[in-house]
Every structure is written in structure tokens, then in C-alpha cells.
A and B are shown apart, each in its own frame.
Chain A
Amino acid sequence: MSTPLLEVKNLSVSFDVSRPWLNRKLEGQDKVLLKAVNDVSFSINKGETFAIVGESGSGKSTIARLIVGLLKPSSGDVFFEGKSLSAGLEGAEARKLRRRFQMIFQDPFASLNPRWHVADIVAEPLRVFKTETGKQRREKVGELLSLVGLSPEDGAKFPHQFSGGQRQRIAIARALAANPDFIVCDEPTSALDVSVQAQILNLMKDLQDKLGLTYLFISHDLSVVRHMADRIGVLYLGRMAEIADAKSLFVDRQHPYTRMLLDAVPDLGMTGKPRKPVEGEIPSPLDPPSGCVFNPRCPLANARCRTERPELRLYGPTWAACHAVEEGRDKAA
């Protein structure tokens, strides 16, 4: 465990969301940049599940897309087994690496080409990476479909003949086809019903045990993350608020935002007990607050929080970016 499987260092990305050039010149506006991900660092060890939780607009899906190379970072880098991926996915070295990571998407209706047979969808990585040929490939597709709980005969069907959960199984089979080590899962169950979600989560856990997979698991649902993750990063407005072991996060959360998120989760065990509503809403990422981005909603915010941006610091087993935690104000409150 000397080098982590994946290491993200000071990753930032900005999107140009300004009006078209001509409108801008005519209306005398400046370029508008949206900082979707801001100086994010974390690492993932082989065989573990690292989860990123955050609400909409936190930049969690953007991080996923940066890691798999669908987007290029504005600054910072991603290292896979110590090798930089920042050159994008064009080089020969990166081409070899690409085989080793895959992605599972949120919407199983959009992630499978509706005009392709399921067998062709699952076989696409095999074709691209030329790992098997002809008959072997067909056998492998059958094996993969069985592995995810479908039947090899399902390969002859089209995606629209399957339910959402079954489609997500097909997507998982495709992700596994080229024997990857690392799978980025972008909200893999948020489009599914709970009973189907349980099936998919169990399947993903089983596959991890069987194949020694490493997951980056992105979700907005803390209960799902609690169930899946070994370590968790809490993202707020493009910045990491807290990184902790799954166990410590739920027992001994440090950052006030994490605390707020946990309090806001409806839980069946709490029937009748009202959850604590959170003050305010997430500010626009176009115009983030100065200092700590959470300060307008934070019950512990003071003058320092409004001006100075907190860095991630280690508190016991947990990394947190909070002045209040640093100064011990959270315990006093």
C-alpha cells in the first residue's frame, strides 16, 4: 500500500459560462467563469471504496468526469498508480491505462445505446481493447451477463426491453468486460427504486469482493454511502469540507456542514422525530461566498470564516476544512 491506486492532487476546473462573444462585446460584459471544482485532493487505495457525497452543484459528478478523462482539469492532476493522467487520454501510455478504469453512470436509460443489441454493448470494451476475438468474445459476453445476474440469452435483446435495474446490470457488465481495476460510479442507483437499488448495491459489493475492484462512489444519499464506502469525502461548492473513514464520519463528524447533512437525512428509525431543517440553500457557484464557502449557512461562522479560507487539516482520524473545528469552537457550542 505504498502508492495509492488513484491520487487526485489540487484538482480544479472552471467552465466558461459566459454569453457568446458577440453578445458579450455588445453588452460590455466580462467572461464569466464557474469554478466547479476547486483545489480538491484525495487518494484512493487499492480495493477500497471511496465515496464523494455532496448536494447538487457541489461538483461531485464533475470530479468523476475529470478522473476518467471526459473533462480536462484547469489545474492539478490525477495520478493512476503514480502515473499522471493530465496529458488527457491521448498518449500511448494513457491508452494502456484506460483499459484499467471504467465508469458506471446514473441514468441507465441514457448510458446504453438504444439501437445496439445488449451483446454488442457489453462487448464494446472487448472490441476496443481487442482482448478477445470472435467466439471467445461471445462466450465472454455470456459469462459477463451471468455474472451480473442476467441470462446469456439476454444479449440478443435491445436495452428498451429491460427495466431500469436490469439496464444498470448491463452497464455494470460492460464496465467489467475489460477486467478493470478501478470503476467510477456516478450515482449508480439514484435513478432506481429502493428495492432495485438494494439489488444493485449488493451486486456491486459482491463483485468488489470477487474481483478485487476499487470504487469511486459518487452519491448524494448519505445512507447509501454509509452502506458502501470505506472512506468518505464531503464536497460542498466544489471544495472538500471533510474526508474521513466511514465509521468516524458517522460517529464523530467534524465539519458543521457534515453535521447538518446528517441531521437532515430522514431516517426510518426516527419516525415522528422531526429532522432538523437546515438554514438557507446552497449559494450559486457563480458567486461563491468569500472565506469559507459554507459561512452563510454555518451556525458557527465568525469574522475569520467570512474572510479566510480554511485548509484541510487532520483532526484525529479526520481531515476537515473548518476554522471552528481548528479553534475548538464547535465543541463549545
Chain B
Amino acid sequence: MSTPVLSVEGMTVQFPTRRGILTAVDDVSFSIKAGEVLGVVGESGAGKSMTGSAIIGLIEPPGRISSGQVFLHGERIDTLPAEKMRRVRGRKIGMIFQDPLTSLNPLYTVAEQLVETIRTHLPLSAADARKRAIGLLDDVGIPDASRRIDDYPHQFSGGMRQRVVIALALCADPDLVIADEPTTALDVSVQAQIIDVMKKLCAEKGAAIMLITHDMGVIAEIADRVAVMYAGRLAEIGPVRKVISDAAHPYTKGLMGSIPSLLSDAERLTQIPGSMPRLTAIPQGCPFNPRCSYAFDRCYIERPDPLPHDERRVACWLYDKEEALS
């Protein structure tokens, strides 16, 4: 268990446009171990979904990974040719998207889709594949799986459909599951069910999960570690309890304070002034400096790289040892 399942090193994703090159993901590094859940949070435009798409090689041209490396089990995958990458995606990486309807073909029954995916990646007979598919549907909590497997996607409710997508993602026993906002389209009462299923299955199968979401509540419940993204960069990454109860980066602090809680009686929420810069106008130095109440000279000139701070890394000059000394 020495090599992590996924390791991303200094990944940068750029989009050339006529107004210049946009950097959607900027020098992001992290890794996920087997059986671990890494939550990736950030607001819209922070680059979290782009990070996910870059890892699985699904960035729309002209966007591309302009520098950095992505390793799956120590094997470099960002340079693989499209055809090979497609096989890796199905076999070793499972994907769950926000809208279950985009992952399911409305013209085929769930059985057809599951069996086909299983047989593409595993050497099983049609009957064995079907047996495996029923087992998977059972695992994700679809009642009466052996009968419902022959239904079409539209015959399932939203929550059930998302369960089918999870089953589809787990078809080939992937090592890594990338879930992009898997619960966002669902009602609160159904969200909890889906999170339960994901958590249980990944623990059983020992898959690593990269969970991309804007919902801190979901992260708090399921993730082991959390990476907070801001303007395409990692602001803070570390154990989820640490980050939530004792945020280090000023952005994370503001983010946590701005979430209304069922428990607190605060009259006003903490708010971060302003909004995230557009990709066309990211300020020099730390991208958070215009909104940061702690910003000092250095923040406007020099860009902070994630610096070690207890068990985590924080991209903020406040945590620079040398700064503390001076």
C-alpha cells in the first residue's frame, strides 16, 4: 500500500482563447490512497470539476493539461493515447455524474447497459455478467433487483437512478471512483441514502474515491481528507475534521463561517466580501488577496504554494515558517 491509487503532481489545465490563455486548474498536487475518500470542494468556477475531467482525460479541446503528471497506481496515465485511456477509464476508474440521465442510455434497459459494460471489461459469460449486475444492484440498495434490472432508466425514480449509475461505475471493480456532485440533483432525504451507499461500497471494495462537490455537509459526512480549491488552485488540503473545525486558510475560514448551521443562532453569517475572480482576471500573487482580511505585502506579489501546516498543506503566506520568524 505504499503507492497511492491516484497521484496528481503539479497538474495545470489551460484553455487557449482569443483573449489569451485561461488557466482553469493551476499547479494542483494531491494523492488518494486505497479505501480513502478525498473530498474536493470549491465554489463554481474554482476548477474542481475540471480537475476531475483532467484526471480521466476528458477535457474538451482546445483545453489541455499543459504541465504536470497524473499517476494511477504509479503508472502515468495523462500521456496515454485516447484509445488506451478509454479502456483505463472503464476498467480502473468509475465515474458518477450529477445528472444520472446523462450516464444512462434511455434506449436500453439497465440490464443491457450493465451487462455490456461488465463484459467489455471482465471476461465473463453473459449469464455470469447478468448475475454480477444483479448483485451490484442489490449492493446499491435497489429492492427486487432481479426483476427491476430489466426496466428502462426512466422507470426508476431520481434516487434509484443514481443508484444504478453507482452500480454502473462499480461494474469492473475500479480502483478509483470519481464522483462529480453525485447528490446535488437529489432531495435532502434521498441524498443521505446515496451517500450511505457510496460510503459502504467503497469501504467494502477498497476503492479510492474522489468526491467533487460544493456541499460541505456531504464532505463532512463521507470524506477522510478534503481539498479546498479556489480560482483553480489548491487553497488547503488535509484531514476533514481539521479543515472543518479549525480551518487554516482565510478562504476556508470564510467558507465555513458562511454556511448556515442548524445548531447556531447567529444573527448574521460570516461573509467573504466580493466574489471569486473570473479566469480572465486572476490577480497577481495569491488569488484570494482582494477578498482576504489578513493579506499583507507579500500576498500581492508572490504566489503561495501549499505549505505544510500540522497534518495538512495550506497555500497561504501566514503559514510560512520564515514569515513567522521575521
Contacts and interface: CB of A to CB of B under 8 A. Distances in A.
> Touch between A and B in complex, CB under 8 Å?
yes
Interface of A: 55-56, 163-166, 193-199, 201-202, 205, 220-224, 226-227, 250, 260-262, 264-272, 274-278, 281-282
A271 B244 contact: yes
Interface string B260-301: 111100111111110110100000000000000000000000
Contacts of A275: 192, 221
Contact of A55 (B188, B216, B261, B266): B188
B275 A196 contact: yes
Contacts of B271: 195, 198-199, 202
Nearest to A196: B275
A266 to B, nearest CB: 3
A282 B270 contact: no
B156 to A, nearest CB: 10
Nearest to A166: B275
B177 interface: no
Interface stretch (B55-63, B250-258, B312-320): B250-258
25 contacts: A55-B188, A163-B278, A164-B44, A166-B275, A193-B43, A194-B216, A194-B255, A196-B275, A220-B188, A221-B260, A227-B260, A227-B269, A250-B262, A261-B189, A266-B191, A267-B217, A267-B220, A267-B261, A267-B262, A268-B217, A268-B256, A274-B196, A274-B221, A276-B192, A277-B193
Interface residues of B, number: 46
A261 B260 contact: no
Nearest to A271: B220
Interface in B229-249: 240-241, 244-245
Nearest to B189: A278
A268 B263 CA distance: 10
Given A166-B275, A194-B216, A196-B275, A264 B268 contact: no
Interface string B188-222: 11111100100000000000000000111110110
B304 interface: no
B217 A266 contact: yes
B259 interface: yes
Nearest to B291: A195
Given A265-B217, A271-B244, A201 B187 contact: no
B217 to A, nearest CB: 3
A281 B159 contact: yes
A261 B191 CA distance: 11
A284 B284 CA distance: 53
A191 to B, nearest CB: 9
A193 B214 contact: yes
B216 A268 contact: yes
A268 B246 CA distance: 12
Interface string B29-68: 0000000000000011000000000000000000000000
Contacts of A265: 188, 217, 262
A202 B158 CA distance: 33
Contacts of A274: 196, 221
Contact of B262 (A201, A222, A282): A222
A198 B221 contact: no
A265 B260 CA distance: 12
A272 B241 contact: yes
Contacts of B187: 55-56, 220, 281-282
A163 B196 contact: no
A194 B43 contact: yes
A9 to B, nearest CB: 29
B102 interface: no
B157 interface: yes
B293 to A, nearest CB: 14
Question: In this complex, which of B221, B270, B278 has the most chain A Cβ atoms within 10 angstroms of its Cβ?
Answer: B221
Contact of A271 (B192, B245, B268): B245
Nearest to A247: B265
A291 B202 CA distance: 40
Contact of B240 (A222, A271, A276): A271
Nearest to B267: A205
A227 B262 CA distance: 8
B258 A198 contact: yes
B255 A264 contact: no
Contacts of B275: 163, 165-166, 195-196
Given A195-B258, A222-B262, 7 more contacts: A195-B271, A195-B275, A202-B269, A226-B262, A264-B188, A275-B192, A281-B187
A75 B74 CA distance: 66
Question: In this complex, which of B192, B240, B262 has the most chain A Cβ atoms within 10 angstroms of its Cβ?
Answer: B262
Nearest to B270: A198
Contacts of A221: 188, 260
Contacts of A220: 187-188
